[in-house]
Homo-oligomer: A and B are copies of this chain.
């Protein structure tokens, strides 16, 4: 990952190092806090390939510090266990052989207890390293990357735990608190205008970002409109009841084939019982709330909904440009809010930040000046730039300090287990 823009000053004084250490400790503790409500059994399984066992996330994020920092910057460091690099490397071809992804859920050893010991061991060494007086810029950058990497896995932990518990017929709640509040109000969907013109896209400034956001550049946009909120469950139910899943005219060819291969008739976690829709949330199983944003839908469903509604999805550039103008305000519905579910629109909010990742109609492709670094860091983002669609805006499982206006998330168009949602847009035609 090439970090052209981000360059911490050389005169990094003790205060900054102390802050970095504090952030390290906060982020690492946050990962474990997410796992606190689990039973040992919950840490082990992998019900689908996309979902990794929580135990694996705990160990893999720890391996990341070991492989990218401790082995290189801590001269006397010894591996906690010589087999762990093989077991907990995710996809870095340049870092050697690794355990097959599809088999993560078959590893009962190391135990959860041993994995926590591994975390403690690496924390101890990282903390010792970060207390050193003389920390190089390069190391600071890597620590930032490691923290952001760990935060990405915090989001995956939440969504993977949801999959594990939500596909158990006993539907155990992850956390009963806080109580889900029924939304009282339904907001009409308004469309905000955006004029045609040249817009700046991509990350600027010295703060951390991933390499796929770098290379600030211009994009010319024709005039368009953007909805002031996410599509709700109630609106999505209208699509469903008016034949949304049975009329091929709404769907991409690949989406229609995807539908034929599996009995999908509703968002993930929805179940119909006696004519009424329920959904599993991390607070438990409950009736669907019509005013909440719809979530756990694939790109195919998002696009079909938009076509059915006579609108379209936005491009990631339209989304980013609108945020720069209309504001990208805080939201209670990020991971830190502890709701673990998208919340209803509040009066003042446009739901651009948090709640649910918004599928865009942009494919995940490099920005004009993107260059993929050689070696393991280059594998972080660049090699995924095919067959995936961009999502923007973060979700109720995204840590607040991890988000940015320019953040580019990406998944294959059939994926539904993330907190994904829909924002509508449309072109303004000049006659």
> Which residues 304-345 in A have Cβ within 8 Å of B in the complex?
307, 312
- Give chain B nearest CB distance to A193 CB in angstroms: 15
Query: Within 8 Å CB of A107, what residues of B?
Result: 45, 168
B164 and A108 form a contact (CB under 8 A): yes
A220 and B218 form a contact (CB under 8 A): yes
Query: Within 8 Å CB of A252, what residues of B?
Result: 383-386
Q: Flag A369-398 by CB within 8 Å of B: 1 or 0 each.
A: 100101100100001111101000000000
A207 within 8 A of B: no
A105 within 8 A of B: yes
> How many copies of this chain does one complex carry?
4
- Give chain B nearest CB distance to A262 CB in angstroms: 14
- Give chain B nearest CB distance to A19 CB in angstroms: 33
> Which residues 335-372 in A have Cβ within 8 Å of B in the complex?
361-363, 365-366, 368-369, 372
B369 and A248 form a contact (CB under 8 A): no
Q: Flag A247-261 by CB within 8 Å of B: 1 or 0 each.
A: 011011111100000
Query: Within 8 Å CB of A106, what residues of B?
Result: 45-47, 105, 164, 167-168
A71 within 8 A of B: no
In the bound assembly, the distance between CA atoms of A383 and B256 in angstroms comes to 9
- Give chain B nearest CB distance to A51 CB in angstroms: 9
- Give chain B nearest CB distance to A117 CB in angstroms: 14
In the bound assembly, the distance between CA atoms of A166 and B39 in angstroms comes to 25
B374 and A365 form a contact (CB under 8 A): no
Given contacts A383-B251, A384-B253, contact A109 B41 (CB under 8 A): yes
Which of A62-70, A85-93, A143-151, A289-297 lies at the binding interface? A85-93
A413 within 8 A of B: yes
In the bound assembly, the distance between CA atoms of A55 and B40 in angstroms comes to 13
B249 and A220 form a contact (CB under 8 A): no
Query: Within 8 Å CB of A303, what residues of B?
Result: 386
- Give chain B nearest CB distance to A406 CB in angstroms: 17
Query: Within 8 Å CB of A46, what residues of B?
Result: 106
Pick from B43, B222, B249: contact of A369, CB below 8 A. B222
